[in-house]
Amino acid sequence: MSTAALKWWETAVIYQIYPRSYQDSNNDGIGDLPGITSRLDYIANLGVDAIWISPFFKSPQKDFGYDVSDYQDINPEYGTLDDFDKLLDKAHSLGLKVMIDIVPAHCSDQHSWFKQSRQSRDNVKADWFHWVDPKADGSPPTNWLSFFGGPAWSWEPRRQQYYLHNFLSSQPNLNHANPQVQEAYADIARFWFERGVDGFRLDAVHTINADSEPYKDNLANSDFVLGEMPQQQQPFFRQLHDSAQLNQPGIQAFSESFRAVADEYDDIYLMGELHGDDPIKASQTFTAPGRLHATYNFNLLQWEGLTVKEIKLAITKAISAFNGTGRLSFAFSNHDVPRSATRQMSRMGLKEDQRQALQLLLLKLESCLIGSTCVYQGEELALEDVTDIPIEKMQDPWGIEFAPVFLGRDTCRTPMVWTSNKSNGGFSKANSTWLPIDPKHLQNAALDEAAKPDSVYNQFAAFLKWRKSQPAIMSANTMSEITGSDTQIVFDRISDQQTLRCIFDFESLCVTFETVHVRESKG
């Protein structure tokens, strides 16, 4: 085991903020940067190490910030660059690192790059996107499908070509085989690093397209079985995407270029979100020397939840590839999947009165694994998923496309509530909020819970304080194989100073720790 001091991000607990739903400061029903700033004390008191803020850049908001029209400015709904600088200063004064969410694979069709590129085949941005001639019969060049439904190609009459979009047609994929595109992202990185940002979460890096022609068809997924969950019933999942469309080898030129920029600055962290036919293999590729520091994947984020056996298997696969490193970041919840308390309760057959104990167990489990962990806003309150949003109030384009059989991602994105006896739970004084407030969440409003000694918030805060005193977790990223009964997950965290046994019992919903070995330091 290495005795070298670990970087901050190798053991960090990172609190994810979905800015549209955190705190509204100007009463327009939409969360914003000043709102986040006003709640940083609440986050710091929890004892996390960093915050990750989902996109707040200029955007037409068709995918709520993941369709960027200007990477170096703030969408007016969220505030100004000055507001961001104030947020950054306060976070740093509270000892919090700040990570922001960069979207490198695609931008908005309202970005000046795409507006120019689509005009002709010979302008200066002509090859900044993936433009491909139709087949002889006029059909798209490949069989690639969009995550959000339909073909991944749209027709542009001015160029008489198709352009690629792995998501919405208004989110054209950039051509990362073009060195000018990589340099543009290097400039974006420097812009935010110069402001003092401590790291990036890189959105959906596996969907960057960087391989040049010829474009190949995806192979059929011979193992496809029609699933119970609506998103698994889409034609998209009938293909093997790593065969052509996703996780292309050429992506790594971008990873290396972006890492080189990060290395110009001190202590920067690059965490790439990815998925794929073999996500562990993809993670190893993305975190090879000179590339991203770590990856954030969906091992524990399965939409339908996981059994104890499946959690064991997911962790075992990850640890077998990354034990002794901090190159993974684990999470049970984020802004793209149903909330973990609801998802896991349903899969494990638990009752409502067990929700808080289960959530606390999951929080402790993920933050005892090697590497960093990401906690999504509201997990510290054991908030449940919201499954009764009327169709006419839905906002997520994915959910709207497939409603009512699939509700999309709105269910985990409803606004935070802060005080149960205030209008809209203290989120906003507006007459209505961008997504409806869930009345059930008022039972666990954030500031109310922070005032209760036995709340999930305070129990997790006490655990994080204790965690920072454990050498086995904070001084090394090594753990044993997972053991335990069918309802247990048991493993040791191991450092030169300490071996700490971690026992997670999903039957009693209790967590216990035993120091099984302490080594004397040599002075």
The three-state secondary structure class of 156 is: strand
What is the amino acid identity at position 479? M
Please tell me which residue in 85, 133, 264, 514 is annotated as part of the active site.
Answer: 264
In angstroms, the CA 283 to CA 273 distance is: 9
Show contacts of 162-165: CB within 8 Å, 24+ apart. Answer: 162/131, 162/132, 162/133, 162/134, 163/118, 163/129, 163/130, 163/131, 163/132, 164/129, 164/130, 164/132, 164/209, 165/106
Catalytic residue list contains 32: no
In angstroms, the CA 24 to CA 428 distance is: 5
The radius of gyration of the chain from alpha carbons, rounded to an integer in Å, stands at 23
Please tell me which residue in 83, 203, 211, 492 is annotated as part of the active site.
Answer: 203
Q: Point out which residues pair with 98 in neighbouring strands.
A: 51
Q: Where are the alpha helices (DSSP H) in 353-450?
A: 355-366, 397-402, 446-450
In angstroms, the CA 464 to CA 447 distance is: 19
* Whole-number Cα distances in Å, 401 to 31, 150, 192, 302, 404: 25, 10, 34, 21, 9
Handedness of CA 123, 126, 132, 138 (dihedral sign): negative
Catalytic residue list contains 520: no
The Cβ of residue 302 has, within 10 Å, a number of other Cβ atoms equal to: 17
Residue the block writes with tokens 């340099």: 183
Residues 6+ apart with CB under 8 A from 413: 18, 20, 21, 335, 395, 396, 435
Cβ contact 16:334 at 8 Å: yes
Dig out the tokens for 151 from the structure: 């073909």
What are the φ and ψ backbone dihedral angles of 410, each rounded to 5 degrees? -60, -30
Active-site residue set? 203, 264
